[in-house]
Structure 1
Amino acid sequence: MLRSVRSRRRAGTLLAALLLALSSLAGPAAPAAAAVTPVSVFGAWHCSNDACLWGTVRGAAEFDSQNHWLINRGDGRPSVNLVVLSFVNPLRLLNQTTDAGNINGVPRGMTQEIVNYFTARGIRVMFSIGGITYTGDWDTALAQNGTLLGQRAAAVATQFGVGIEIDYEQNTGPNLTQLQNFISAYRAVHPYNAAGTDPAARLTIDVAAGDRWLIDINRKASADWLRTDAPVLDFANAMVSARQPSAATAQSNWQEHIDGKSQYSPPVPPLAPAKFTGGLYIAEGSKVRPECTNYGTSVTKALAPYVQTAAPNGAGTTSGMLGFMFWAAERPSTRGIGTAPPNTCEGGVGAGAQALGVPVPLPALRQS
């Protein structure tokens, strides 16, 4: 009996060794599949037909003739679920300027009719305050009265039923104290709305493509305004870089936000993937990008797996960025190619919206 037990033990030991050897030959166990989170935000900045001035009133029929692809990708559904009309001059808004191009600081082309053109199709609309051209005017307006500027932005949001985007591109010494006053004043009128049911409560900010430009703004936004435990702003847009990046370069830039920059002094903290989108060009200079015309060969398609699975690394708990933003609809430059006919974007942005199952209207956004 004892010999039999020993024999069985020896056989068991040999079997275990054999199984271990076979498992080593088979290689390491496959990693667990990354959690896939569907894209929530799929939007476009819009520059009207005059290089982002929005200086003239446009009728709905004429506007539709140049922008129909945004509301119909070919199957009757919109190509995007968010449009950001760009730009409002912050100093003119503060001063309530009425002149040839503005009424009470709002560009004359940003009318209720244009807002309704999009919202009637379930597309959320925001007004962007700033842009690189108006960086100095942001500085001046904030120095004069950041609180009043925030109140006037909130009044515009109420009047038109839109959200507001902060596009303050000051790379050196931004006035963060007064920008905080702007945000606090806006939130006093339109409190943070996690459900996303109040369009005027949507308040976002633009940050750099990665963490190596607009460092002070990136740091402040990640540390204080985009936290998942105490959110102040809804989300950030990682803006386009100087030119259309490769998929690898864009991913590297966006990963910088997720990782933060601990080596900086003071450090830039990590940003939750659920708190930002990534920006790409649809038309750039004299080139119409596949982002506009051919989703199958686009950087958007190449990046979609990363955008839907990017894992948090110090902030947030859910995988996946919020989605994509595209620069820019219609005519962002007086000399470059835009997205008006014949260069419309049903085959790029529209096909991408279909392939990714982009929801319209914009859903409630993840909070973690």
Structure 2
Amino acid sequence: MRRILTAFALLAALLVAPAAPAAAAVTPVQVYGAWHCGNDFCTWGTTRTVAEFDTQNHWLIDRGDGRPSVNVVVLSFVDPAKLLHLTDDATTVDGIPRGITPEIVGYFTSRGIRVMLSIGGITYTDAWNAALAENAAQFGRNAADAARRLGVGIEIDYEENTSPNLTGLQAFIDAYRAVLPYDATGANPAARLTIDVAAGDRWLIALNRKATADWLRTDRPVLDYANAMVPARPASASSAVADWQEHIDGKSNYSPPVPPLAPAKFTAGLYVAYGNRPLPECTDYATSLQRATGTFVQSAAPNGAGTTAGLLGYMFWAAERPSTRGIGTVPPNTCQGGTGAGATAYQIQIPMPALRQS
């Protein structure tokens, strides 16, 4: 009888015990890419052979087992004013840097790696302002034509912090989308149009507010996604996560407020090249930030926008020679052991799959 009572007691305890909390949803990393600055510090002003380019960048297409280390590269940067005017000069052809050729694009796309061009960067903030003021719609059409001609997407990197020309930027985007409508499938690479925002919500505030409220909505998307750029210098895992969480939460205390951004509508930026020593993000996945922040990036819950957990993935700044100072990612400081190993750990799909929309 005592055994029967004990059994009933155990059964009752199981029935009334609170259920264990469900594990956070883990979403596969879909975007895993690198900004690429070429060998001349982000100007791409010189035509290069594919053979020479490969000697400096082979790690991007081969993590050590024949598979690429990334599924997207963003060739950085295009001068906005030159693209508007379709400039031909010593470093530019039809507004595109001479180093960004169909052959270099094909070096990546032939291996399933998506290619995009970044227009702007902080060096070209004044050029962005001038192009938007002069003829924003023509600027957008020229960007769309370049994207179609090269088979690439376009990234908007407009880093005007104080008073961005949002009316002009809206006209640029409208003109681009009139030529290349939003494509949720990702089948048309030229239809991929993204924007860069700050690491968190406290810089580029007006741009971020506009993008989040009007262009990155899940119910009527205009841009495919945003990249939360790297901060001024490499950060700790906790600082990086705190910045990214700001996008998810928004800033209700700002006037006007910044609305929350769906996790499925942005990527997280990390450095792979900074200063004169290799970073773990490049060379040692086991101690890298992409490993330390992986749980957050794959499971961050929506907080007012979106329905699925997890950011889209990671973007790394930046391949080859991003600065006149520092070692970059050229041999012997290549990134198979960090970025490439991360691609294996996260089972990155190449080519990039259709992206989550909410």
- Normalised-by-shorter TM-score class: over 0.9
Unaligned runs of 5+ in 1: 1-10
CA distance in 1, matches of 2:111, 2:128: 33
For structure 2, the residue ranges without an aligned partner over 5 or more in a row are none
Alignment partner of 2:156 out of 138, 160, 166: 166
Tell me the residue number matched to 2:58: 68
1:73-112 equivalence runs, <5 A: 73-112=63-102
Deviation at 1:69, TM superposition (A): 0.2
SS of the residue 2:116 aligns to = strand
Deviation at 1:173, TM superposition (A): 0.6
**Structure 1 length-normalised TM:** 0.93
Q: CA deviation at 1:15?
A: 6.4
Give the aligned partner of residue 325 of structure 1. 315
Q: Deviations over 1:117-145 (max 9, x none)?
A: 00000000000000000001101110111
Q: Secondary structure at the match of 1:301?
A: helix
How do 1:1-368 residues align onto structure 2 when only pairs under 5 Å count? 19=13, 29-368=19-358
Aligned-partner SS, 2:293: helix
Residue identity in the other structure for 2:346: L
Instruction: Specify the SS of the correspondent of 1:280.
Output: strand
Question: Based on CA coordinates, which of the two structures has the bigger radius of gyration?
Answer: 1
State how many pairs are aligned. 350
Q: Note the C-alpha offset of 1:198.
A: 0.1
- Which one-letter code corresponds to 1:167 in the other structure? D
Task: Quote the offset at 1:32 in angstroms.
Answer: 1.1
Q: Secondary structure at the match of 1:287?
A: coil
In structure 1, how many angstroms separate the alpha carbons of the residues matched to 2:220 and 2:133? 27
Q: Root-mean-square deviation (CA), in Å?
A: 1.5
Identity between Structure 1 and Structure 2 (%): 70
Runs ≥4 residues deviating over 2 A = none
Q: By how many angstroms is 1:19 displaced?
A: 4.6
Distance in 2, Cα, partners of 1:130 & 1:74? 33
Q: TM-score, normalised by structure 2?
A: 0.96
Q: What amino acid is aligned across from residue 105 of structure 2 in structure 1? A: V
| Aligned equivalents of 2:176, 2:137: Cα separation in 1 | 8
Matched residues in 2 for 1:349 and 1:166: separation? 24
What amino acid does structure 1 have at the position aligned with 2:28? Answer: P
